[in-house]
Structure 1
């Protein structure tokens, strides 16, 4: 395995701890690496997994980059209430613990704005991806939500204030 990811001053920040075999996609190699944060003492530590209280902006849905300058957003509070913007409409709902980590309830309430077809289609993809979420990985300012099989369905970054 590789030595990991180094900081600008050459210190190791992350170490590859496990390699997962994933099938190749169109024009994509078949691999995935799990990284563990390394402290100044060289020991492995868990990366914080808290995702509530952070405003998240979507960058990818089902592996495709968000196509316009008005991306979907997601906010989860400490009671697992969810508010989201899908590109045109706003949504509210709740998450619940699942066997792997979490799940979004299917009965999400939302506004019903008249949206251009392209934006509405992207919003439907975003909601379909949320419905498939069963776990997540938080890394620094990023958040990856995965389905039951561990495939990435959504990728977010923290929204700057």
Structure 2
């Protein structure tokens, strides 16, 4: 469970550094933004995605994720599929001492993200 003083993962753009322990392709840009109102969005490395999230204590889940359908290099498309699958399996979040956002799924899928900057303008 997160402590009361722990920051929430909302309101910042997070950049993905690792998907399932396999890292990510150099210079690929996978991001996540949680708006504080239940909407998630970002880049999967090729396509933009959006959906809903549910945050309660240290519990976090995503649903109704949809995205654009652009074609990219095969390796980027496969990485994006791995990312979106891991995102759909997320059940727990925490921010570690380095400032990384760690998202873990019940099936062991994990994501490691670092803050990129402030929220995008709506």
Do both proteins adopt the same fold according to a TM-score greater than 0.5, normalized to the shorter chain? Answer: yes
TM-score tier by shorter-chain length is 0.7 to 0.9
Q: Which has the higher contact order (CA 8 A, sep 6+)?
A: 2
1:1-161 to 2 correspondence within 5 Å?
48-97=6-55, 101-105=59-63, 107-139=64-96, 141-148=99-106, 151=108, 153-160=110-117
Displacement over 4 Å in runs of 4+ = 97-100
Q: How many residues align?
A: 116
2:6 alignment partner, SS class: coil
Q: TM-score, normalised by structure 2?
A: 0.84
Root-mean-square deviation (Å):
2.4
Q: Which runs of 5+ in 1 are unaligned?
A: 1-44
1:95 alignment partner, SS class: strand
| Whole-angstrom CA distance in 2 between matches of 1:101 and 1:49 | 14
User: What is the CA-CA distance between 1:71 and the residue it aligns to?
Assistant: 2.4
Q: TM-score, normalised by structure 1?
A: 0.65
Larger radius of gyration: 1
Comparing 121-130 and 93-102, the one that deviates more: 93-102
- The structure where strand makes up a greater share of residues is 2
